[in-house]
């Protein structure tokens, strides 16, 4: 059985639909919560962020409230950036989500910058020509819809191939090489995950986007089915990279 490693920088940002898809495919996964100092596979002795891939087939790095630029305040950021490059060097796939995508950008020489406005809720994005031909995104059609929740975005990543664009930032998904993928959007979220964010972060999010309070149920009713299909398609395609 293939086992994957997940880094979850925020306790209320678990693997959600990504973890569900891994299990449905017959795989298993371990999760490290570096801020909380907890790991599911070592509940009594936190092992920290590993330096090498070990036996893991691939690495997923999820989102969190900090910036990928905050390396002085959060040591796990630099540790995770080194780890994702180690996975890439070992020929094993990496998937970065939101903060994870921003860590990938920094690890490969790109810039993480503050956007002019907060982007939160379901948004429809367009695939680039490269996205339409990409092994993971091909067949999804010219547009995709998924959930956003971010103040920052990425640009200027040497060698990155933009795969999707739209909404508040030009790069919504990109690829580096053949096995490193990043999405600014959150294909993993469920409505319960987003509600946990609202409960924990409150006005830091809702003042910037009141629809998190007033329109969340309708958004999920309208968009969750296609959002879930997108997650399953992307993760299953990404898992195949571990088999190559």
pLDDT digits (tens, 9 = 90+) for 98-153: 999 999 999 999 999 999 999 999 999 999 999 999 999 998 999 999 999 999 99
- Active-site residue flag, 169: no
Cα separation of 105 and 66, whole Å?
15
- Quote the pLDDT of residue 139: 86
Catalytically annotated residue among 10, 119, 152, 188: 188
105 and 111 Cβ atoms separated by less than 8 Å = yes
From the candidates 119, 152, 169, 186, which is the catalytic residue?
186
Told to judge if 188 belongs to the known catalytic residues of this protein, a careful annotator would answer yes
- Bridge partners (DSSP) listed for residue 143: 126
Out of 10, 74, 98, 209, pick the active-site residue. Answer: 98
pLDDT for residue 141: 93
Q: What is the CATH number of the domain that holds 147?
A: 3.40.50.880
- Give the pLDDT band (50/70/90) at residue 243: confident
pLDDT at 222 over 90: yes
Number of structural domains the chain divides into:
1
Looking at residue 168, its pLDDT comes to 87
Q: Is the pLDDT of residue 186 over 90?
A: yes
Q: In this structure, are residues 137 and 127 in contact, taking their beta carbons and an 8 Å threshold?
A: yes
| pTM metric for this prediction | 0.97
pLDDT tens-digit series, residues 50-95:
999 999 999 999 999 999 999 999 999 999 999 999 999 999 999 9
Residue 38: predicted pLDDT = 95
Return the pLDDT at 41: 96
Mean pLDDT, the chain, whole residue set: 96
- Please determine, for residue 244, whether its predicted confidence score (pLDDT) is greater than 80: no
- For CA atoms 225, 65, 202, 12, give the dihedral sign: positive
By residue range, what is the domain housing residue 65? 3-243
Active site residue 38: no
């Amino acid at each position: 059985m293939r086992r994957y490693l997940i880094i979850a920088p925020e306790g209320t940002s678990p693997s959600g639909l990504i973890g569900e898809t891994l299990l449905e495919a017959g795989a298993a996964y371990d999760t490290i919560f570096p801020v909380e100092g907890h790991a599911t596979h070592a509940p009594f002795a936190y092992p920290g962020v590993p330096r090498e891939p070990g036996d893991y087939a691939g690495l997923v790095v999820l989102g969190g409230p900090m910036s990928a630029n905050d390396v002085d305040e959060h040591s796990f950021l630099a540790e995770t950036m080194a780890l994702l490059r180690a996975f890439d060097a070992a020929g094993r796939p990496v998937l970065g989500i939101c903060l994870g995508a921003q860590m990938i950008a920094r690890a490969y020489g790109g810039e993480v910058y503050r956007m002019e406005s907060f982007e939160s809720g379901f948004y429809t994005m367009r695939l680039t020509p490269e996205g339409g031909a990409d092994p993971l995104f091909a067949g999804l059609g010219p547009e995709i819809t998924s959930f956003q929740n971010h103040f920052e975005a990425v640009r200027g990543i040497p060698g990155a191939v933009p795969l999707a664009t739209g909404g508040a930032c030009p790069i919504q998904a990109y690829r580096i090489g053949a096995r490193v993928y990043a999405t600014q959007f959150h294909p993993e979220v469920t409505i319960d995950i987003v509600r946990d964010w609202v409960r924990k972060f409150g006005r830091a999010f809702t003042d910037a986007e009141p629809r998190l309070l007033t329109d969340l149920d309708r958004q999920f009713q309208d968009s969750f089915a296609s959002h879930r299909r997108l997650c399953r398609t992307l993760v299953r395609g990404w898992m195949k990279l571990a088999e190559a």
